[in-house]
Amino acid sequence: MLLEARLKAASEPARNAALARHLLDALKQYGANSVGFYWPLAGEFDARAAVSVWLAASPQREASLPVIRERGVPLEFHAWTPDTPMKIGHHKIAEPTSGRIVTPELLFVPCVGFDAHGYRLGYGGGYYDRTLAAWPGAKKPITVGIAYEACRTPSLHREGHDIPLDLIVTEAALYPRPAD
């Protein structure tokens, strides 16, 4: 049901334009110079244009995309620019060929669904949970979910390894994680 709602929302240009504006607002709010994001699958918001605009505003900024070395292990983030050559990796998802590993300060995470407590529903592979649990940097990244308002639900079933996101961005608003 959420996948269908997301696919419908993603097909509306006005929603995508509003989501891009809010994504840029989130980047401005946190002031990060290093961002990890994702290559879009069907129904997912395509953040490449917004990230490209953000990159162009300062030579100190860098963006990266996930690379899946093998199933069941944390993601690596490799440097990306709009001109970076790409290859098809695991799950038939495009990955940068730069080979340069980046540890992002802010990480955009795709959401199939999300709830009022900052939890997300993904595809069930556990890649982001595993990656965040084994984060290579001294400090965990700011985590920002990207979703459509149509995929908001009051509550999601959670497991012990699930990690709430710091912020969820939709076409309608920015939702910070509520204080515990």
- Residue pLDDT, tens place only, 156-174: 888 777 889 999 999 999 9
Q: What is the pLDDT of residue 180?
A: 64
Helix residue ranges per DSSP H, the chain? 2-10, 13-30, 48-56, 127-133
What integer pLDDT is reported at residue 160 of this predicted model?
Answer: 74
Task: Assign a CATH topology to domain 2-176.
Answer: Rossmann fold (3.40.50)
Predicted TM-score of the model (pTM): 0.93
Tell me what pLDDT residue 99 has. Answer: 92
Q: How many residues does the chain have?
A: 180
* Structure confidence by residue, pLDDT tens digits, 7-31: 888 889 999 999 999 999 999 999 9
pLDDT band at 62 (very low <50, low <70, confident <90, very high): very high
pLDDT band at 151 (very low <50, low <70, confident <90, very high): very high
Contact 132, 75 (CB under 8 A): no
Backbone angles phi, psi at 176, to 5 degrees: -70, 150
Provide the pLDDT for residue 6: 86
Asked if the model's pLDDT at residue 123 lies above 80, the reply is no
The per-residue pLDDT of the chain, averaged, comes to 92
Q: What is the pLDDT of residue 8?
A: 86
Mean pLDDT in residue range 79-85 = 97
Residues in Cβ contact with 119 at an 8 Å cutoff, skipping those fewer than 6 apart: 156, 158, 162, 164, 165
